[in-house]
Structure 1
């Protein structure tokens, strides 16, 4: 078989099944990436969600016998939402980041990669293939950059000329010697908007992120949110888009063509109060198809409480009092206590004093006292 011709056929087939971009690279080790990852670990900037074995992350040949190439794919997702509901007093809303709009991208990209695998195996039955999306060993961004999908930007995203940085990435290691694509030149230039506006200063410098300070990471943790980040979270209940929305390369990139990622406005910009009383079962039934549900309802509910404090939503106080006094989860009780103090009603003050006498968990007592301190400061 003529591999060059088959590669062109594969590119054309990918377009017919809804893959927006496809590129190819070798299985040569990612030496520069390894040095960066070592540095990230030394500085304590890693999130902890990554594959811990740096050799597996940077040596594709270790992941598949007879590996000769990597296929990288990108699928665009929307940056705009039609008929977005308004957040108003008495009916405050949170927001899921764009990467959680529509169907979980892991599901969609795995299906596309499975279709590519079937196409390849139909024509080359003895081909060896291994696909991965996000949770695999390889760095999706490093593979995409070397495959010519886009350039690695200062905001640590891959930016494509066609779709901006609003693209999901996946890859397939292959035993077929596909010709590598040409890499794209960095086009960020002197622009530093993403670094300048990052709410928590998580973007240390162009291309270097302290994940421990990134709101997208913080909203996925399950512990108490550190004080310094609570005001920064605002009404975000999953993820953060700030470094993308300010990027000039994303201007005018609506990317509305992938129906799987069309957002349901009521789900991606949900009312906050109903989230607080949602059972695990209802949460899974309602949000289980979205990537933002992967950590379960607890972080979402904690973030919703922080959002209600951000809005100083007095209508939420009775519900927050109920959580503070009776919820079994210390993180929820504590966050509710802090939020009650931020909202600062007389009803809340009485409840905080009651909770201070009743609470046994030291972590929660600390949050109750923070809540009480707001009354001293504000009154």
Structure 2
């Protein structure tokens, strides 16, 4: 009975718009617990993860009598089909690929809701079957579920790598009390390749599929405070996320999937002009960027990253904009980051040095004062 149901679900999933589907047991992922505890003890976690480790490992703690977990993958594009318009004298920033198109959490939730409805329909609305869908904001570790369900293997960069789509996939899972026959897990195929580890600009990857997540540039672009100075040059002009470990992965060579209209990027949104973002209102930000997964922390981290990107691109036309940030912006993080950027762009400019000295006298935030002093010293020494 359940084998037939499983085959029906696999066939139906394609009609729903699910690119890959697999099934695994709801047995504990207890082999992960020591690693998760070690990561937490070493302060390698970001705080964005679900905090109860036992609930991440034992499905029975979050679902009554679980029998199986259905894992799904949706492939997303790795290349844009069109480029944004070139504007003379203006620099653009970039959102990483995982933030192209409609927020993937919403897309995954839509597909899982449709899949659950389909299962209920072909099960003749059996009231005894139950489901719990989740994405990466849920309790379970989606790559661990997907690997055990046979969708792909976990690479040295910690991402799930599928045969068909590389690591350019979004993952979701559904816990259920239906006892499906599990699929065969995939074994790691990285071999001796260490490209993702070698090219990670912050040495965040530990080489065994784990990472020090606090050093990951994707995490750093999502924080709300001052970005540590060592990471600022490394984000280049990326204002959200990081794709480097995916770009260098041999399994991603030639992978570019365009199956879902919701995931197609608007070039003007995912590669926006930088300077206009410095004065965008909350309403304008939500209207233009609210659809993106990269908007979830609001405009402040994006604007901080924009200032860093302007400095990294050596865009001296942005100097008046940065002066305005220091004079008018009430947020210390924006003022401090602008001061750091002026220390780079204002090298040899005595007028900017005097402006920073005057602004330092008005500044009352101790952390930001340090940024002003460092910027002034940088102008002096260059």
What TM-score results when the alignment is normalised by the length of structure 1?
Answer: 0.97
Q: How far 1:33 moved relative to its partner?
A: 1.2
Q: In the aligned structure 1, how far is the partner of 2:292 from the partner of 2:210? A: 28
Q: In the aligned structure 2, how far is the partner of 1:42 from the partner of 1:209? A: 13
1:331 pairs with 2:333: yes
Q: How far 1:66 moved relative to its partner?
A: 2.1
In structure 2, the residue matched to 1:122 is 121
In structure 2, the residue matched to 1:171 is 173
Q: 1:158 aligns with which of 157, 160, 167?
A: 160
Q: In the aligned structure 2, how far is the partner of 1:28 from the partner of 1:55? A: 13
Q: Provide Cα deviations, 1:231-262, integer angstroms capped at 9, x if missing partner.
A: 11111100000000000000000112222110
RMSD: 1.2
Aligned length: 377
In structure 2, the residue matched to 1:234 is 236
Q: In the aligned structure 1, how far is the partner of 2:363 from the partner of 2:237? A: 28
CA contact (8 A) 1:195 1:206 kept: no
Which piece of structure 1 moves more, 340-349 or 231-240?
340-349
CA contact (8 A) 1:95 1:236 kept: yes
In structure 2, the residue matched to 1:44 is 43
Q: 1:349 aligns with which of 332, 347, 353?
A: 353
Structure 1 pair 87/191, CA: closer, same or farther in 2 (3 Å)? farther
Residues 26-105 of structure 1 mapped to structure 2, 5 A cutoff: 26-85=25-84, 90-105=89-104
Q: Which runs of 5+ in 1 are unaligned?
A: none
Q: Provide Cα deviations, 1:102-142, integer angstroms capped at 9, x if missing partner.
A: 00000000000000111112233221111001111000111
1:110 pairs with 2:105: no
Q: In the aligned structure 1, how far is the partner of 2:315 from the partner of 2:363? A: 24
Q: In the aligned structure 1, how far is the partner of 2:67 from the partner of 2:95? A: 39
Q: In the aligned structure 2, how far is the partner of 1:348 from the partner of 1:253? A: 47
In structure 1, the residue matched to 2:198 is 196
Structure 1 pair 87/352, CA: closer, same or farther in 2 (3 Å)? farther
**3-state DSSP class of the match of 1:203?**
coil
CA contact (8 A) 1:133 1:170 kept: yes
Q: How far 1:55 moved relative to its partner?
A: 0.9
1:137 pairs with 2:139: yes
Q: Which runs of 5+ in 2 are unaligned?
A: none
**3-state DSSP class of the match of 1:209?**
coil
**3-state DSSP class of the match of 1:334?**
helix
In structure 1, the residue matched to 2:19 is 20
CA contact (8 A) 1:89 1:313 kept: no
In structure 1, the residue matched to 2:314 is 312
In structure 2, the residue matched to 1:375 is 379
Q: In the aligned structure 1, how far is the partner of 2:352 from the partner of 2:275? A: 17
Which piece of structure 1 moves more, 333-342 or 82-91?
82-91
Q: How far 1:64 moved relative to its partner?
A: 1.3
Q: In the aligned structure 2, how far is the partner of 1:277 from the partner of 1:133? A: 33
Q: How far 1:89 moved relative to its partner?
A: 6.9
In structure 2, the residue matched to 1:322 is 324
**3-state DSSP class of the match of 1:340?**
helix
Structure 1 pair 86/187, CA: closer, same or farther in 2 (3 Å)? farther
Q: 2:259 aligns with which of 242, 257, 260?
A: 257
Q: 2:250 aligns with which of 248, 251, 254?
A: 248
CA contact (8 A) 1:212 1:218 kept: yes
CA contact (8 A) 1:66 1:175 kept: yes
Q: In the aligned structure 2, how far is the partner of 1:249 from the partner of 1:222? A: 33
Q: Provide Cα deviations, 1:286-341, integer angstroms capped at 9, x if missing partner.
A: 11111000000000000000000101111111111111122110000000011011
Which piece of structure 1 moves more, 355-364 or 266-275?
355-364
1:222 pairs with 2:221: no
Q: How far 1:376 moved relative to its partner?
A: 1.7
